[in-house]
Each structure stands twice: as structure tokens, then as C-alpha cells.
Amino acid sequence: MAVSGVAKQPSSESFDLTLKGDRALARYSLGVASKFDVPTVVMLCVSVITGYLVLPPLYSVVQTSLFTTKLTGEIDQFTLRYYEDLFRELQVLGPFLNTFYFSVGSAVFATLLGGSIAWIVVRTDSPLRGLGYFTAFASFGTPFILYTIGWLLLLGRAGPVNYWLKIWFDQAGPVINVYSMFGMILIESLLWSPFVFLMLAAAFRSMDPSLEEASAACGARVWQTMRRISLRLMLPAFFSVMLLIFIRTFESFEIPALVGLPGDIRVLTTSIYLDAQKLPPRYGSAGAFSVLLMVVVAATLYFYFRMTREGDRYQTVTGKGYRPTVIRLGRWRYLAGAGLVTYSVVLLVLPFLIILWASVLPFYMQPGIEGLTKLTLKNYVAALHFPKVTDAIKNSVLLGLGSASFVMALTLLASWLLVRTKIRGRWLLDLMTTLPLLFPGIVMGLAILRFYLFVPIPVYGTLWILLIAFVTRYIPYGIRYTHSGLLQLHKELEEASYVAGASWFSSMRRIILPLMTPSFLGGWIFIFLLSAKELSMSVLLVSPQTPVVSVAIFELWENAQVGELAAFGVIWTVILVTVAIVYYAFARRYGIQQN
């Protein structure tokens, strides 16, 4: 593969290329006099680490898609069968169109929703702005399966929403059918909107107010300014977010399976899953599907890269006081506040309440008086007796801290290379850092499992193997956060630092890192929460000595009753929300989160 070639020899390429195009950044000193300039060294380190993490699973995914396997899992014969199957599947218009509508719908709706909330929270004087952050963190902390179940119970045929709507509209049957495309898009977008919020909030906060002020000075109304200035400046961030959600939704399986399938709405992933549900398990079709996606995404990224090549246009954080002005909404601020409350209720309170409700019942009943007579804590007792529950919580928290810190550090450097330097072929680094997004979790889990069984690095059966897997999996998210954050940072700030004689390292530490804090921390907490939920790789990589929470939840989901699952979920959500609140308080105190 072309990608592997680059990863092995980025240095030779960058030696002769020493930043010809970028005179201002031409020479940095590492403190130690050396003939290596900083970008080369950084590129070398980042590429080697990223390549080490990403290439083995990439190889494995491609291999899975091209070879049959023996019963033992060994590679057998070359075949194009999986691709033929896939193209046959693609020709069936139904699933393909469904997938398309589902991903576009979710990407658009989630971006609109999360974007509006981010704008209200960061840029306006609406009351209750803190609620936006709290909601985003808390709902993101809710384990995924639980969240979906909560929504199904709420919107189901016998659920409270349909119950009230039936009375309201005087209908006999259910009014809303959640097992539909509408239901899928709704739940998927709600699920992703905190991600949009966290990412766009970071971007909104680093917006250059001078352009908006100029617009206002020219007599433009708030709305005009927003449309013609603010939103355009935000283009890379919007694009990043939508691309990510589009891809994730395109390849997502859980919502289509749990929400779409009962209503006979099939997407590509459900078709592939149902066809591949065989003995012995075959991952060829899943592999072929992700290879195809990789090609599509590589093309998209290439264009994205060309688009943001003239990145200067989007640099909004300059040496001039860049803190964006707060837009005064006047009377509208109450409406904005009401919007925040509604968002919070819909995204967080309703599903959490129904899960809380399920957790205190001996068996699931629709909310009502009858249930109140049967309240019990036995599900909590059962959940707390779950084997090694404290170890699981400890391990999950450790993994979250480790993977979030490592990913953000690595991707900050990678983004710096992508945005600030002109090293040729750096779009391949961009591609490499985006690829893990496309690996099917189970194939990636297997790849990592096999790799460390064979390579004599003793991480098999320890927490380290999980850390390696998580870091690899979440590099793409880190890169989106740091990349759009760095794009907004005007390079003259850095240049000023070099001119003043600072070394590369101290410029990084004293200029870039502080200015990048919002997106850096946004990404950090995001990855922390995400890794707390990771499942598809963890189920393979955990050992009896290294239990993690998400696997425990999955076991409950597969085997236990809704009540026990809900009780465990409530406990875990409370823990994650506590972490988020502590983080938030900390961030506020040190003035890095809020204005």
C-alpha cells in the first residue's frame, strides 16, 4: 500500500524539502544544535507512532477482505468473493438508499442541533448556558446501549409518548412509529449532537470578533453577520463534524439493528451482519465494506485537504484580542434559554428518567401508578454484586485517562504538521490518522489480538493492549479536534514567538498549547467518555484480570433483565457525570473553559 511506504520513509522526503515554502518557519532550534530541523523530527516521530498503531490493523482489514480463512482463523485463499457480494448488495437499491438517507439525515440534523446549541452557549448572553456543557457531558457519559433502550422504551408502541399522543389525538393505534427511518435518524442525531456541540463550541470560542465587528459596522444585522461571516469562518469545523458523523453513521450498526430492523428498514450494515452471521464467523464482507469506505473517505479527505489548503482564510485567532464578543439577544435570550432547557430535557432528562424508572422496578412496566407500588432496589444490589465491579470501574477510568491524554498529545503534533508545515505527502498522514475511523471494531479487535499474540511484546492479557487499541481507535477524533482548532490559530502568533527567540518546544508549550486549550480539552474529555463506552474491541481484548465497564454492561445487555442493566447504567452514568463535573469545575476555575 502507498500508505505504508510513506510511513516508513517520511524523513528522506522531508530532508530535501526543508520547508522551502515557508520561510517564516524555516529554522527552529531544538535547543541542541543539530542538522535535523524540528518539523522533520516531529514528522518522523509522529509518523512512526501513528504507523505503528494504524498499519497493522489496516493490513489486517485489507487482508480479511481479500482472503478466505480456515476454520482455525488462518489465512487461506485469495478471493474476490466478498467484494462481489458487496457490489451485489450495493445494487439492491433499498438498503443502499436507506443507508444514504440515514447518514445524511443524521449528519445534517445532528450538526444543526449541536451547532445551534453551541452557538447559543458560546456566543450569546442566553441564561443557563452552563446547562449546555452539563447536558453534553452527561448524555455522552450514558452508555450507548442504555441510551438506545431508553429511547425505544420512551417512543415505543406502548411507551409514554405514544400513550399521551393517543389521548391527545384520540387515536386507537400508536401515533409515532419509532421503528422507522424517522426514529433511526432522531436517535442517531441525538446521540451525536453532544459531539457536535463539544467540537463546535471549541471552534465558536476561537472566532475572530473583528470580522464580525466589521460586518456590524457596515450595518449588517446579526442574522446577516452570522450567515455571511460567522458561519463561513466555521466552514472547516462544520465540514469536519459532518464528515465524521456521516462516516460513523454510514458504518454504524446498532441503531439500524435495534431501531430500523424491527420496522423492516435495512441498511448496508444490517444486511452484511445478517448475511455474515455464520459458523464459523466470517468477517470478509465487513472487511470489504470498510475497504470501500476507506477509498471513498480517502477521496473526500483529499478534497477536504485541498479546500483547507488555503487555511489562512480560516485563521481567526490572531494576535489581536480574539475573545469573541457576546451577542446580545435582548428579549430573545429567554427563547434561547428555553431552547437550552428543551435540549437538555430531550437529550438527557427523558432517557435518563426512563432508565432510572426501569432500574427501580422488578420488571419493566410503563410509567404509571402501578409501578410506584412495586419500587425496589434489588437491581442495584444485583448490579453492585456484579463480579469485579470495582476493578472494572478502576480499569475503565485508567484507560480513559491514558487514551485521552496520549491521543490528544499525538494528534496535536500531527495537526501541527498538517496545518503549519508544507512537508509533501502530509495528506497521507491525515489519511492515516483518519483510517481507524473506518475499521470495523471487531476486525480491528481481532487484528490487535493476533498481532500481540505473535509479536513478542508482552501486552497480551494486560491493560496495555486495551490502551493501544483505544488510542488507535480514537486518533481520528483527536485529529478532528486539534486540526480545526489549529486552523483557526493564526500562524503569526507562533512566528512572533520564534522571532522573539523562543525554541520550538517553548513556543508549543507557551503559545500553541494555551491557545489551543478549548479544543484540546474538548477533545480530551470527548475521548475519555468515548473510551469509557468502547465495546467492540474490548470484548475480545479483556482478560479475566482486566475487566472493564463497557463489557460488563454488554454482558448485562445480552443476558440480564432490563432492570439490572439500567441499574448498572445509572451507577456508571453517575460516576462519569461526576468526572465531567469535576473536570468542568476545574476547567472553569483555571479559566480555560468559559469566557
Partner 1 sequence: MVARNRDMPTIVALLTAWVLSAGVASAATVEEIALMNRADRQKILVEGAKKEGKVSWYTTLIVDQVVRPVKEAFEKEYPFIQMEYFRGNSERIVQKMLAEYQAKRYDVDIIDGTVSPTMVRRTGYLQRYYSPMLAEYPAELKDPQGFWGTTNLYFFATGYNTRMVKPTEVPKTYEDLLHPRWKGQMMWSTSCGSGAPIFVGTILNTMGAEAGKAYLQKLKAQNIAKSTASNRQVLDLTIAGEYPLALQMFNHHAFISKSAGAPVDWQPHEPVTATIHTVALAKNSPHPHAAMLLLDFVMSEKGQRVYQQANYLPSHPKVPAKQADLKPGPRFKRVYYINPDAQYDKGNEWVDYFNNVFLK
Q: Give the span between the Cα atoms of 153 and 358, in whole angstroms.
A: 9
In angstroms, give the least distance from the CB of 460 to partner 1.
8
Contact 162, 179 (CB under 8 A): no
Contact 203, 484 (CB under 8 A): yes
Candidate list 24, 97, 365, 381; residue touching partner 1; CB under 8 A: 365
Hey, what long-range contacts does 231-236 have (CB within 8 A, 24 or more apart)?
A: 233/207, 233/208, 233/314, 233/316, 234/200, 234/203, 234/204, 234/207, 235/314, 236/307, 236/308, 236/311, 236/314, 236/484, 236/487
In angstroms, give the least distance from the CB of 579 to partner 1.
26
Contact 354, 363 (CB under 8 A): no
Candidate list 235, 382, 398, 575; residue touching partner 1; CB under 8 A: 382
- If one asks whether residue 88 binds partner 1 (CB under 8 A), the answer comes out as no
- If one asks whether residue 61 binds partner 1 (CB under 8 A), the answer comes out as no
Q: Which residue type does 179 have?
A: Y
**Binding pattern to partner 1, positions 479-518, x when CB under 8 A?**
----------------------------------------
Q: Of 225-233, 385-393, 400-408, 578-586, which segment contacts partner 1 by CB under 8 A?
A: 385-393
Candidate list 127, 262, 339, 371; residue touching partner 1; CB under 8 A: 262
Closer Cβ to partner 1, 523 or 563, answer by number: 563
Candidate list 168, 169, 172, 277; residue touching partner 1; CB under 8 A: 277
Closer Cβ to partner 1, 55 or 382, answer by number: 382
Contacts of 466 (CB under 8 A, 6+ apart): 395, 399, 537, 538, 541, 542, 546, 548
In angstroms, give the least distance from the CB of 562 to partner 1.
5
Beta bridge partners of 75: 69
Contact 98, 267 (CB under 8 A): yes
> Which of these, 135, 58, 110, lies nearest to 349 by C-alpha position?
135
The footprint of partner 1 on this chain (CB under 8 A) covers a number of residues equal to 56
| Contacting partner 1 within 423-452 (CB under 8 A) | 446, 449-450
- If one asks whether residue 458 binds partner 1 (CB under 8 A), the answer comes out as no
In angstroms, give the least distance from the CB of 2 to partner 1.
29
Q: What is the DSSP letter of 455?
A: S
In angstroms, give the least distance from the CB of 187 to partner 1.
15
- If one asks whether residue 49 binds partner 1 (CB under 8 A), the answer comes out as no
- If one asks whether residue 368 binds partner 1 (CB under 8 A), the answer comes out as no
In angstroms, give the least distance from the CB of 81 to partner 1.
15
Contact 243, 300 (CB under 8 A): yes
- If one asks whether residue 74 binds partner 1 (CB under 8 A), the answer comes out as yes
Q: Give the span between the Cα atoms of 422 and 18, in whole angstroms.
A: 9
In angstroms, give the least distance from the CB of 155 to partner 1.
11
Q: What is the DSSP letter of 219?
A: T
Closer Cβ to partner 1, 148 or 593, answer by number: 148
In angstroms, give the least distance from the CB of 250 to partner 1.
18
Write out the DSSP string of 251-319: T--HHIIIIIGGGT---HHHHHHHHH--SS---HHHHHHHHHHHHHHHHHHHHHHHHGGGGGGG--B-S
Candidate list 20, 23, 278, 589; residue touching partner 1; CB under 8 A: 278
- If one asks whether residue 562 binds partner 1 (CB under 8 A), the answer comes out as yes
Closer Cβ to partner 1, 21 or 458, answer by number: 458
Grid cell digits, residue 124: 450569546
In angstroms, give the least distance from the CB of 551 to partner 1.
9
Closer Cβ to partner 1, 16 or 558, answer by number: 558
Residue length of the chain: 595
- If one asks whether residue 273 binds partner 1 (CB under 8 A), the answer comes out as yes
- If one asks whether residue 73 binds partner 1 (CB under 8 A), the answer comes out as yes
Phi, psi at 549, each rounded to 5°: -65, -45
Closer Cβ to partner 1, 85 or 208, answer by number: 85
Q: Where are the alpha helices (DSSP H) in 16-156?
A: 38-66, 81-91, 93-123, 130-141, 144-155
Q: Of 217-225, 323-331, 522-530, 550-558, which segment contacts partner 1 by CB under 8 A?
A: 550-558
- If one asks whether residue 371 binds partner 1 (CB under 8 A), the answer comes out as no
| Contacting partner 1 within 142-181 (CB under 8 A) | 149, 152-153, 156-159, 179
Contact 243, 304 (CB under 8 A): yes
Q: Give the span between the Cα atoms of 181 and 267, in whole angstroms.
A: 10
Closer Cβ to partner 1, 127 or 262, answer by number: 262
Candidate list 279, 320, 331, 590; residue touching partner 1; CB under 8 A: 279
Candidate list 7, 199, 258, 502; residue touching partner 1; CB under 8 A: 258
Q: Which residue type does 205 have?
A: R
Q: What is the DSSP letter of 131?
A: H
Contact 162, 176 (CB under 8 A): yes
Contact 359, 567 (CB under 8 A): yes
Q: Of 220-228, 267-275, 410-418, 423-431, which segment contacts partner 1 by CB under 8 A?
A: 267-275
- 3-class SS of residue 61: helix
- If one asks whether residue 374 binds partner 1 (CB under 8 A), the answer comes out as yes
Closer Cβ to partner 1, 242 or 567, answer by number: 567
Contacts of 379 (CB under 8 A, 6+ apart): 359, 360, 361, 563, 564, 566, 567
Q: Of 58-66, 242-250, 273-281, 412-420, which segment contacts partner 1 by CB under 8 A?
A: 273-281
- If one asks whether residue 568 binds partner 1 (CB under 8 A), the answer comes out as no
> Which of these, 423, 426, 447, 444, lies nearest to 435 by C-alpha position?
444
Contacts of 452 (CB under 8 A, 6+ apart): 459, 460, 465, 468
| Contacting partner 1 within 295-334 (CB under 8 A) | none
**Binding pattern to partner 1, positions 188-227, x when CB under 8 A?**
----------------------------------------
Closer Cβ to partner 1, 93 or 218, answer by number: 93
Which residues contact partner 1 (rule: CB under 8 A)? 70-74, 149, 152-153, 156-159, 179, 257-258, 261-264, 266, 270, 273-275, 277-281, 362-366, 374, 382, 385-387, 446, 449-450, 453-454, 460, 539-540, 543-544, 555, 557-562
